[in-house]
Structure 1
Amino acid sequence: MNLRTLGIALASTALMTTAAMAEDVTLTIESWRTDDLTLWQDKIIPAFEKDNPGIKVVFSPTAPTEYNAALNSKLEAGSAGDLITCRPFDASLALFEAGHLAALDDMDAMSNFSDVAKSAWQTDDASASFCVPMASVIHGFIYNKDAFEELGLEAPTTEAEFFAVLDKIKDDGSYIPMAMGTNDQWEAATMGYNNIGPNYWKGEEGRLELIKGEQKLTDEQWVAPYATLAKWAPYLGFGYEAQTYPDSQNLFTLGRAAIYPAGSWEFAGFNTQADFEMGAFKAPVQSEGDTCYISDHTDIGIGLNAASPNADAAKTFLAWVASPEFASIFGNALPGFFPLSKTPVELEDPLAQEFASWRGECESTIRSTYQILSRGTPNLENETWGASVAAIKGTETPEALGAKLQDGLTSWYAPHQ
């Protein structure tokens, strides 16, 4: 090889190397899910990179309590990652309105999600979507199968059956019928009111009409769940008023309580701690044959930093997040966090299978207070905590609670004025 030929060869090699380097893009993901770091590093990212060799991904989480502040600082400074993990509703909406999150409506992948799934990451008028939905949590009831078999009980489907089961457990005396306390307040609203309530206000129909001002919190369908919660008190065990959330978890996993009003985020912990087989049933309907509604609450999404220099590569990743492959990996690695894409995912965890099956039987909705209605003062979400506790303790009537909540909402929310 002469010098001229050698020079051409070296130049060609340099060009090829430069071209290869130019093709490589590194995407950084901002997130609060520090517990998921290993999952992303060991499963999610390798699966994506295998089919997208020119794109590297780095998962860079911040402690949950510090995430919002840290993310805002990075975005303002221009140092935030390309992809932003999105909390539902107002926090992410504020980022979009500030120009930090890009609109994603031009992505075909967004058609893989229902309107309910997308609602947590849209503008109020649903004209723009800014995060790809990743997962939701579903509400229902988990029960001790050993206890039910011992007492000859079956999972209830109606409210009459539900209270009959609770009566039998209470009369037997071997178990606390239901593990839930009121000390921390949020459980009474989250696993109580917003668990059973959708069957009363007909899920999205009632929730959206409340937002529009076409229904009020004094209407029967919004007051009645408080009357039902008031009937729970005799079954919660001695001292439930001072019982904390961890107390309730322990009572159930130690086998001392037969039923646990639940969110699906409990699965991983319960699977590790309980030495008995568990079953699940959805919030009972009022009468046999009624349409059932479940709280299938949007929990986590992922969006594009509007200032990212790697927007095309980031959109490639977001489209993959909307795929069945991602949904299968995520849904099985984190049982109880349910993929939101329309494509069904085959889940391995028995409890996850049961909860997910309700999507095919019932209408899905989200927690009634989370979109728009908790932006003012008094905050409707926090007020619902206190109202749910008061209902269970019997310190105020359901009607009085509805009137108080409605007065608070009317004081600041124009559609109710």
Structure 2
Amino acid sequence: MLIQHRLLAGLLYVGALVSPASSLAAGLTIESWRVDDKVLWEEVLIPAFQRKHPGLAVKFAPTAPTEYDAGLQQRLSAGTAGDLITCRPFDASLNLYKKGLLERLDGQGRAQLDDFPASAKLAWQTDDGRETYCMPIASVIHGFFYSKKIFAELNLQPPSTEAEFFRLLEVVKSQGKYTPLALGLADQWETHQVIFNGMGPAYWQGEAGRKALISGKKKLTDAEFETVWTLMARLRTYLSKSASTQTNADSQSLFGLGRAAVYPAGSWDIGPIRAQSLDFGAFPPPVPKAGGVCHISDHSDIGIGINPRSKNKEDAYKLLTWMASQEFADLYTNKVTGFFSLSNHLVPVLDPVAKQMMDWRKSCASTIRLNAQILNRGRPTLEADFWAVHSQVLAGKLSPAEAAAKMQASLNHSAK
């Protein structure tokens, strides 16, 4: 009997030692594809959160972007995924939700989503808008960077219209010292996400054209879409001689080293260009004619959700609540330069180029990438076809009319 009491006491003592440590070790784990954010989370965001919730351990566990989607679904299905899930916009996350792999966040008396406008939640809702499964974090904005040194040397000003844009490219080309446009065709995605989706909304009238395409009231062969491929074909003469093999990294380097006047970019490029010590500014996509409405692609990029099988769900909601706060919006916007908070909080943006781009929201109509919602369904995806077609137009291998017909055929096929 004495031995049994001693054994029980020993087990209780060991349990007292082990339990707190085990609980702390478990903590919360965040799944993400944002490998570049690891230091930010570990050195800035997690410590800030823990000042509000001392003792609550948080681990940021990113996966390489190319491996994230498949690996995450496997882990969620197997019950081994983290507690919080960084969400890609639209179908990638919607498909997880439909399989029961993401928690529904609205309709539960919780207030995390109250600090976000309806437009911000669109990327993480069901098609009918009735269910929300991820909380918005940040968007990215498309535009053009320009070298202040080259513009001053050639007496150029940032353009506001299509005519002014091509006039300045022509000046740079005729001068012969610099590449007018730092745009490569090797990676293909830039031609779609930055050029087509950046310049195009001013021609198809942003959200009106996007929604008309979804409803079937408009086709990609209509003039407002084909005109954008015509515009893209005109850009060919202003690319570098090695554009066909030029990657996005090459374009960044070409511009960052001061050898190109204009770089079509996304706000996510601010940090890499800033690291090259170049003095640069930004201008929004030009309008077709003077007096036209400016449109920007203000694309919802990243959200956060909860694993419905998390064993630490209440703690996960604590972190989610903090991520909806003013403090998080300030930290994320200014530490992940070029990723703009989607919350209603007023955020002072410190980087001057990031501030320029965020301020476009005040004077330009905002839209998202043309095929991001609904249209990208089917295999092969419309996105993949867009990449190939745009690059062929810029390489002179496909006419604008051929591009429009090819993409409408692709859209018809994906809709079946």
TM-score normalized by the length of structure 2 = 0.90
1:65 and 1:163 mapped to 2: Cα distance? Answer: 36
Mapped contact 1:227–1:398 kept (Cα < 8 A): yes
**Counterpart for residue 352 of structure 2:** 350
Root mean square deviation of aligned Cα: 2.3
1:393 and 1:247 mapped to 2: Cα distance? Answer: 17
Displacement, 1:113?
A: 2.1
Q: Structure 1 counterpart of 2:125, which letter? A: Q
Mapped contact 1:82–1:304 kept (Cα < 8 A): yes
Displacement, 1:55?
A: 3.4
Q: Structure 2 counterpart of 1:104, which letter? A: L
**Counterpart for residue 297 of structure 2:** 295
Q: Structure 2 counterpart of 1:308, which letter? A: S
**Partner of residue 272 from structure 1, selected from 254, 257, 275:** 275
**Counterpart for residue 381 of structure 1:** 383
**Counterpart for residue 83 of structure 2:** 82
Post-superposition CA distance 1:173-206 (Å, at most 9, x none): 2211111122222221122111101111111221
**Counterpart for residue 44 of structure 1:** 45
Q: 5+ residue gaps in structure 1? A: 1-16
Mapped contact 1:116–1:365 kept (Cα < 8 A): no
Displacement, 1:21?
A: 9.8
> 1:114-129 alignment to 2 at 5 Å?
114-129=117-132
Displacement, 1:69?
A: 2.8
**Counterpart for residue 390 of structure 1:** 392
**Partner of residue 139 from structure 2, selected from 136, 140, 143:** 136
1:387 and 1:22 mapped to 2: Cα distance? Answer: 54
Displacement, 1:326?
A: 0.4
Mapped contact 2:382–2:414 kept (Cα < 8 A): no
Q: Is 1:369–2:348 an aligned residue pair?
A: no
1:21 and 1:400 mapped to 2: Cα distance? Answer: 64
- With over 3 angstroms needed to count, the CA separation of the structure-2 counterparts of 1:83 and 1:348, relative to structure 1, is same
2:346 and 2:289 mapped to 1: Cα distance? Answer: 29
Q: Is 1:157–2:166 an aligned residue pair?
A: no
Mapped contact 2:257–2:278 kept (Cα < 8 A): no
**Counterpart for residue 112 of structure 1:** 115
| 1:367 alignment partner, SS class | coil
Q: Which stretch shows the higher mean deviation, 124-133 or 239-248?
A: 239-248
**Counterpart for residue 217 of structure 2:** 214
- With over 3 angstroms needed to count, the CA separation of the structure-2 counterparts of 1:77 and 1:241, relative to structure 1, is closer
1:324 and 1:213 mapped to 2: Cα distance? Answer: 40
Q: Structure 2 counterpart of 1:213, which letter? A: G
**Counterpart for residue 93 of structure 2:** 92
Q: 5+ residue gaps in structure 2? A: 1-16
1:239 and 1:50 mapped to 2: Cα distance? Answer: 52
1:188 and 1:219 mapped to 2: Cα distance? Answer: 20
1:215 and 1:89 mapped to 2: Cα distance? Answer: 22
Displacement, 1:166?
A: 0.9
Question: What percent of counterpart residues are identical?
Answer: 48
- With over 3 angstroms needed to count, the CA separation of the structure-2 counterparts of 1:230 and 1:100, relative to structure 1, is same
TM-score normalized by the length of structure 1 = 0.90
- With over 3 angstroms needed to count, the CA separation of the structure-2 counterparts of 1:230 and 1:80, relative to structure 1, is same
1:347 and 1:314 mapped to 2: Cα distance? Answer: 28
Post-superposition CA distance 1:13-65 (Å, at most 9, x none): xxxx9xx9999882221122222111111111111111123633222222333
